[in-house]
Copies of this chain bind each other. A is one copy, B any other.
Amino acid sequence: MNTAARPFEDQIDVSTQYIRDSIRDAIVDRRLAPGTKLSETDVSALFKVSRTLVRGALQALSYEGLVNVEKNRGAFVAYPSPEEARQIFATRRMIEPGILREAAKNMGPSYFERLRQLLTEEGRLMGERGQTARRAEIKASGDFHLMLASMTGNAVMERFMDELVARSSLVIALYGQSAISSCGHQEHQDIVALIECGDLDRACHLMIHHIDHIEKDLDMRENKGSDLKEAFKL
């Protein structure tokens, strides 16, 4: 699942794709802080490839909204503004009910089994402590929504959700409070239960409420103390 962080990197086909995935994982996992400069030279040295491939990867990431490239200045890990964050969650509220209804059409026993498996894993992670566990929890939380998207069997929509979830993870990592809302997991379970009951209207309603809940739990004041200069650049 994790495309980066494999051993024996030298033996692996190091391509633009690989670099892109590695950087994306690092951003979503918050190993790369928002605003960090991604120097072409540095990255190319790190992966032992030419700048050509790195530029391709950075450009691709900018299309996904995870990296901002500024002409003649370089690429930076995205530092989504509160407004941008709001738009991301607003977009999710607009499309996820549709995804839920579409996925429900294809729901068979095996799909419910996969969902339950994911929820079990998610619950297990919530019991743990530490930063690593928290990262895994954020990731698992996103995976639930991604799995629903994949169950639509619609690749176009799935790609949109990939992007939205990745950007959401970045936003949560940025503006998330230390006190994690533990109700997210419960809401996931409730949504699955409602789908299983066939009560899609209430499931959709809860989904919107759930996304709203995630957003409301963020502390989206401008400039969280540190990178003041970022706010005034450009």
Contacts and interface: CB of A to CB of B under 8 A. Distances in A.
Interface in A183-204: none
A98 B87 contact: no
When all copies of this chain in the complex are counted, the total is 2
How many of chain A's residues touch chain B, expressed as a range? 20 to 34
A228 interface: no
Given A95-B98, A98-B95, A154 B90 contact: yes
A171 B16 CA distance: 30
Contacts of A154: 87, 90-91, 94
A91 B156 contact: yes
Nearest to A90: B154
Interface stretch (A30-38, A56-64, A115-123, A136-144): A56-64
A88 interface: yes
B94 A102 contact: yes
A84 B157 CA distance: 11
19 contacts: A56-B59, A59-B60, A60-B63, A65-B156, A84-B156, A87-B154, A87-B156, A88-B156, A90-B152, A90-B156, A90-B157, A91-B156, A93-B98, A94-B95, A94-B98, A94-B101, A95-B95, A156-B164, A156-B167
